[in-house]
Amino acid sequence: MLFDPHDMNRLAILLDVDGTLLDIAPTPREVVVPHSLTQTLARLRDRLGGALALVSGRPIAELDEFFAPLRLPAIGGHGAEMRPVADGVTLSGRAAPLDPLFRQRLKDIAALHPGVLVEDKGYSLALHYRLVPKQGLALVHDVKHAYEAWADPSFELLTGKAVLEIKYAAFNKGSAVRDLMTYPPFTGRAPIFVGDDRTDEDAFAVVPEFSGHAMSVGRKLPGIDDHFKSPDDVRRWLERLADGVSVA
C-alpha cells in the first residue's frame, strides 16, 4: 500500500515498541532508543498533527523514561493504561491487579528456574527467559499448570518472545486502540498499526474497523497487509515518512 506523505492529515500511526520500534534486548531495561529515532518520531508527530501513539506492554511511565524528552500519546500495559493526549494525564485503573497469592506463586516458580527475570507491573506479571532459553520448556509447563489450577477466567496467560505474562483479560491492545481512536486527533483517521508479537494481533484485528492498515514485523501473518523484516526497517520507513518521502 502506498502512503501519500502529502495526505498525512487522514492517517494515524500506532506503533508497538519492543521488537517493532526497538531491537529486542537481553532484558527489558537494556533496550536502546537511538537518538535519531526520537528525532524522527518528533518530526512525524508534527506531520501527523499529533496522531502518533506508542502501543506497548510496558507502563507508560517507562515509555516516557526511554523516549525522553519526547512524550507521545500512549497505550501501556497492553491496554491497562492509556494517555490519549501527549501532555495529558494517564488513565489507569482500567485493569484489575493480580491476586497477591497468585503473584507470589508465579515468583516462586520463577525462583525455581535460575536466570528467569521477573517483571512485576502491578496489573500484570511477566517472566522473561531470554537469558536462559533452556529453562523455557520447564518454565512454560510450570506456569501453565499454575494458571490452570488458579482457574480465574478474568485473567489470561500471554506467550511472547521468550516471555510469559499474566494479565487482566478484559483489556488488550485491540480494545485500547478502539478507545484511543475516539479521541482527537485520532478520531476520523485511518490507523496504521505496526507490531511484531502475539499481543499485537489484538490490535491487528481492530484497525479494519477504522479503514486502517496492519503491518507486522519479523514474520508474515495471514490477513496482514504488509510486513517489515526487522525494527531497523521500521525505523527507516518512519524516517522516510517524517521526511515526506513517498513509501510503499
pLDDT digits (tens, 9 = 90+) for 231-240: 999 999 999 9
pLDDT tens-digit map of 65-79: 999 999 999 999 889
Provide the CATH topology of domain 100-168: Hypothetical Protein Ta0175; Chain: A, domain 2 (3.90.1070)
Q: How many residues does the chain have?
A: 248
Q: What order do you get walking across the sheet with 124-128 strand by strand?
A: 117-120, 124-128, 163-168, 155-160
Q: What is the DSSP-derived secondary structure letter of residue 99?
A: P
DSSP letter at 207 equals: G
Please answer whether residues 177 and 75 qualify as being in contact, where contact means their C-beta atoms are separated by less than 8 angstroms: yes
Evaluate if residue 127 carries a pLDDT over 80.
Answer: yes
Whether the Cβ atoms of residue 63 and residue 56 lie closer than 8 Å to each other: yes
Distance CA 17, CA 217 (A): 11
Q: Identify whether 18 is a catalytic site residue.
A: no
Residue 2 has pLDDT above 60, yes or no: no
The pLDDT of residue 31 is above 70: yes
pLDDT for residue 168:
84
Q: 8-94+171-242: which CATH topology?
A: Rossmann fold (3.40.50)
Question: What number is the average pLDDT over the span 65-94?
Answer: 91
User: Span 112-138, mean pLDDT?
Assistant: 92
pLDDT at 155: 87
The pLDDT-based confidence of 140 (bands split at 50, 70, 90) is: very high
Q: Indicate whether 245 pLDDT > 90.
A: no
* Rounded Cα gap, residues 8 and 246, in angstroms: 11
Q: Among 4, 7, 16, 64, which one carries the catalytic annotation?
A: 16
Contact at 8 Å (CB) between 11 and 49?
no
The grid coordinates listed for 201 are 494481533
Whether the pLDDT of residue 23 is over 80: the answer is yes
Q: Which three cell numbers stand for residue 24?
A: 529486542
**Domain residue extents for the chain:** 8-94+171-242, 100-168
